Every structure is written in structure tokens, then in C-alpha cells.
Chains A and B, each alone.
Chain A
Amino acid sequence: MATVTFDGTTRYYAGNPVPAVDGLDLEVADGEFLVLVGPSGCGKSTTLRMLAGLEGIDDGAIRIGDRDVTNLPPKDRDIAMVFQNYALYPHMTVADNIGFHLKIAKMPKAERLERVREAAELLDLTPYLDRKPAKLSGGQRQRVAMGRAIVRRPQVFCMDEPLSNLDAKLRVQTRTQIASLQRRLGVTTIYVTHDQVEAMTMGDRVAVLKDGLLQQCDTPIGLFGKPANLFVAGFIGSPAMNLIPATVEGDSARVGGRPVQLTRDQVSALTSPSVVVGVRPEGWRILSPAEGIEATVEVVEELGSDQYLYCSSPVEQIGADANQFTVRAPGMSPWQRGDKLGLAPETGAVHLFDAETGARLPD
């Protein structure tokens, strides 16, 4: 099939001096499922639309395989796109919708119908081939949109938040269907979403964007285990990582009166004495109040398998809930509102970031 390469790809919008996508360098391997994720307005959809040829490229290039497609119109790029709203033609039947691109490409009718039949079988759409989109459920429409992409047998699939219009339960089901379908077809896929859970569960690799800049591109494990900066640390993982600002004195930072040790490399990498200590909710040990950072349980969220404790503490954090610590405890634990705890990070669960640049300190 084909690789996809973004090479300093840049996109401006009229009247805005700040680029929507700024010098994106990204290499997507053949057959890889790459997810672009980030908050709204981060440039992820623009990136996808540039790849599809729906948006011009102001600087840099995009290559599919060894072909430079920067200036090719969409139809010559050998891609298929699944739109957020599915972009189904309301006046055509499911079969006509799936076969529309082939019809435009003047494929002989017999071959076209055969491909449509195949795709419909693959997606369990055979009984609905004669229906109009208005008579389909959300999930079925989503599959028709997938079918229209599949029949083109493209080198690259572009998917723009294809699950955002489905209800929560269907979204989880469809998520796995799409991922397994992609693995079966082995077609390079670029998938845009704002939902980090979707990103982490579906992607071979996940690229995190913010304000048009690529923050980090790594496997879900790499992203979760070693977030490259504060933004990724806060964005990936649910509930989010606790991020506690601290000041380094000598070779340790004090968090809630407790020392956090820094390595020599970490100390020398700092641009100022300010550091941010990150601990995921599952990275805390719960001790007695005297032994760790003081915290008071405010809300207990019981999930059965796990329990999340939202605690207040005199220690400040960065972000919206300045004084809230999130702690994971085993499910059915006896914690109650008002209980006092002491929190200490597990060994190896501490992430350190330079507070000035936001960058991760070397491990």
C-alpha cells in the first residue's frame, strides 16, 4: 500500500496570521492506523483535509508513497474520506451511495455492483441496499460511509471524527469494528478525533496536536507512559494526571512538604528552578495523613472495578481544579467523604516537567 509523509506542511486561513497547521512533520507507515487528536481548533481536521486535497497547502509538502500529492486534486490522490456527518447523498439508495465514486470514475456497471455487494456484505449492509439514508439508523449510516470509502480500494483512508454522531454505546462497538476492519484491510489510515479514549484504543500511534503544532506522536503506551510535555500529560489519560508545581532546591523538589528526588540529568536540564511534578491517579499510594501530602476526600466515584477519590488539599495544582487531587483506589474500598488521607507517589510513577518550557525532563 503506501506511506504518508507530512513534510513541514503548513496551512493558513485568510485573515489569520497564525497558521492553523504549522510546519507539521509526520511519517505514517504503510498500513498504520494513525490517530490525530487534540482539542477543537488544534488543526487536526485541517491536517486531514490537506491530505484529502480539500484544503490547499501553503508551505511544505505531503507525499503518499513516493508521490508528491501537494498539488494534486483529491481524485488523483488515491484516498478515500469518511466525513463526520457521513456526507451521504439523501436522494440515493445505500447501494448508489456506496457505488457513487465508482460511477463517477466510470467503472463498468457489473464490476461496480460486485464491489458494492462485497462491501455491503463486509459491513452487514446487504439487507439495506435499496433504502435511502433517511431510513437508516446512525450506525448504519456510518457503515454506509465506510462502505463508500472501502469500495474505492484506496491507498489511504481519511476519517474525520466518524463516530462523533453516534451515541456512547454504539461508539464503543463501532470503534472496535473500525479498528479490526482497518487491520484486516491493511490500508494506511489517518483518523481524526477529539476523544482521547478513542485515540488511545484505536491507534497504532497517536499524534497529539495543539494550536497547529505537533506535540507528540507515539504509541498509546508511549504517550501514556512518557508524555513529552505538560499538555500531553494533561490531555492523555482519564481522569487526568495530577500536576503539582514545585521548586527545586539542590537535587529535590518539595511537594506538600515531601521531597521528590531528581537525577543529575534532570537537574541540569532545568531552565529554572520551577518544575511540575505529575502523578497519575493510579500512581498514588494512600497512607495515613501524617505520612504524605494531606488530602481530604470530597467525592467518591465508585466504578465497581475501581474507585476514584476526588480530594481537596492545601497543595496547589495547575489547571482548572487547582486544589483537587484525583486518586485511584481499588473498587469497593471503604473511603467516604470527609476521610483524611496522606498521598505519596509510587516509585516510578512520577513524571517531571520543566515548568517554564513545559517539556518533560529526561528520565
Chain B
Amino acid sequence: MASVEVRKVHKRFGSVEVIHGIDATIEDGSFVVLLGPSGCGKSTLLRMIAGLEEITQGDISIGGRVVNNVPPKDRDIAMVFQNYALYPHMKVFDNMAFSLKLAKVDQATIQEKVKRAAGILNLGEYLDRYPRQLSGGQRQRVAMGRAIVRDPQVFLFDEPLSNLDAKLRVQMRTEIKALHQRLTSTSIYVTHDQIEAMTMADKIVVMRDGHIEQSGAPLQVYDKPNNLFVAGFIGSPAMNLLAGTLKSKSGARRVETDDGVALPLPANAPGSEGQRVVYGVRPDHLSMGNGAGGLDIEVSVIEPTGAETLVVGRLGMAEVQAAFRDRFAFKPGQRVPMTPLLDKIHLFDAGSGQRLT
């Protein structure tokens, strides 16, 4: 067990700086997800922790020991790769045993450790097969088995589920989470899939362009996004973001969009009169009906998913999405009144993109 500490870490490839001084703490035994769009530097950060990329500047320590100059095999980490990186010419058993063989562990211990890992992952009957003879999910499990066998202090996952089909991804998501609960080793998991992040993480670190935009517990990030980027990135379907100006009219505060739509605000809403803001409301925080401050939305598309109904419509010139647990049969062009839940409104400064508190 060990915590991982990232202090003022920079990474440059030639003259291009891809990570700009990141600080992060990954607590002992926690499951931390590095989340961000492709090119945000999350994989590079993970690879620096693994020791596959050099650290240009700053320190990374694992279990209190600075590992900048420690070779990967001595960092007490194991990594699961996106394409699994199984050795195609070795059987499953040998794939899992490879690190132990290199470390000159005796045969009996190798047998025992591999069998144990195979037991955890239900791979027992496949030990005698080659990777090509396995399905995607099984290969994924072998890759995890190879990591488990090493008994590492820190597990590193580099988008391990992105090569799987949707159904298998959901299943493996659960398996990885269950595995973490069982092994309780520190895990760092890189993904661009915010659903994976939300469902698996103890803590999410949202990254963009080599910076950390926000880190915190999944629901905290979901409920109180620090800025417009996080607000738009976390949550599916994405939060509705409408630009406008803060105004007061007969004592009630509201945001007026440029095409004249008035968006309701709670009385204690932050911000000053006349400030340019972005008004954010999640699709599931719009309720049907014409309450106080109701909005007149023109339906353009209805997307029933079975569990929910997603209504895509127009509010003024802007596109708005709303999700309902009930089933509605609106027709395109129909005008439907909807009301935002006032205590679920997010306000961001239009200039800086930062959350107004």
C-alpha cells in the first residue's frame, strides 16, 4: 500500500510542454481516475508515474520515496495497457508469470501466485491458451492478472476498457471496481469516459491541456463543477450552458440571454447586476410544467432510451436538452413549458469560465 504524490510536475517533448506543473495527491488505497479529453496529458502523467516517460521537472513519489530516477520495475507498480500488451507468443500462464520468472522467483511460488490471480479473475481454465485464442474481455482479465501477480503497491490503468464493446465495458467496469475493493491497493485509472470515471472513482482528477481543472469526489465534481469546462465535460447528456447577462426585474434576479429569454435564478444567486454569465442547468434538472420562471421550449427531437426520455429543443436560438423519467410523446415543433430547479442552477463567469459562488 502506498500513496502517490505528484509535485509541480512538468513534461516537455522537445519544445512542446504537454504538462504544466501539476500537483496531485493520490491517497493510499484510493481509486483515482484521471479524466480528460484526448491530448490532455492524462496518459503522459500516468506513464511518468509508471516510469515509461521521464519527468522533465518536478517530483513524483510513491510511498514517500521520490521515484524520478527509479526504473519502472523497482517502483512497485503494475500497469494495464489499453491494448493489453500481452505477449502473443506466451500462453496465459507465461504471460502472467513473466515478471516473476525474470525476478527469479522459484517455480512453486510462481505456480501459487499465478493460480491465485487466475482464481480471482476466473481465468483458471484459460491458463493453457494463447492470447489470440481469447476474447477481448478475457485478454483484458489476463492483463489485469499480470498486474495482480506482481502484487504491486500501485495499479496503473491506461484506458483499459476502450477496446471493449459497450456491454463488456460495463461488466469489466464492475469487475475492476470489485477487484479494487478486494485488493484495496492504490489505483490510478486513466480514461476519457466520464461515466467510467463517475462510477469507479473515489476521486476524479479532471484534466485539460496539461492542467488540472478540478479534483474531488465524483458527486462533488458533478454537483459543483469549478468551471465551464468541467461543467460541460462531466455528465451525460451534457449540462445546458446558456450565455446571458445578470439582471434584476421587480426584485427577482434572472439571467437574460441575448435573444431575450429570461432564465430564473434563486434569490441568493451570486454575481452582480449586469455581469456577463453562463447559466448552467443539467438536462435532468428541468421539470415539465409552467412554474415560476417557466421556459417555453420548442421540441425538435425526442430520444426515448426506455428508462428516460431525452427531449432536445430550442430555447430562443440556443439548443437545450432535457431528460425525464416519464415517457412523453411530443411532436417536433410542439412548444412545451419547462421549469429549471432553482437550487440546481450553476452560474459561471462568462469571461473567466469560473464558477460564481
A is bound by B: no
